[in-house]
Amino acid sequence: MAEVIRYTRAEISKQDGKDNRKLWIIVKDIVYDVTTYLHEHPDGEASILEVGGKDATKDFADHSSDAKKILAKYKIGEIVEEEKYYDANGKKKKGVVSTDAEQGGRGCMSIITCGLLG
């Protein structure tokens, strides 16, 4: 069995599908390279590009079992242990809250850092 490749959220954020970069997404701490699927996405490219390089768990929650089977083909790794939001059963870990950064906004650390630097 091959060893699982682990990625940080920062590494994944660089693969947002823009400027000829790969298109990676995270769903429940699993990393998927959906670059080749982009043109096949039934809802169009824009909807999947919105979550490129981000955690798409919330966006993917209402997808069909067929969509989940398709997604499984694109798995390339997992999030590093210290950055995981979910346990081994796919349940959100206690104390983990969604961040603005997860949704493409500025997380509290960014705001604090900007305030200190600004």
Tell me the pLDDT tens digit for each residue of 90-107. 888 887 765 434 444 444
3-state secondary structure of 63: coil
Question: What are 38-66's pLDDT values in tens digits?
Answer: 999 888 899 899 999 999 999 998 888 99
Homologous superfamily of 6-87+100-117: Cytochrome b5-like heme/steroid binding domain (3.10.120.10)
User: In residues, how long is the chain?
Assistant: 118
Domain residue spans of the chain: 6-87+100-117
Q: How confident is the model at residue 26 (pLDDT cuts 50, 70, 90)?
A: very high
Answer for the pair 89, 63: CB distance below 8 angstroms, yes or no. no
pTM: 0.78
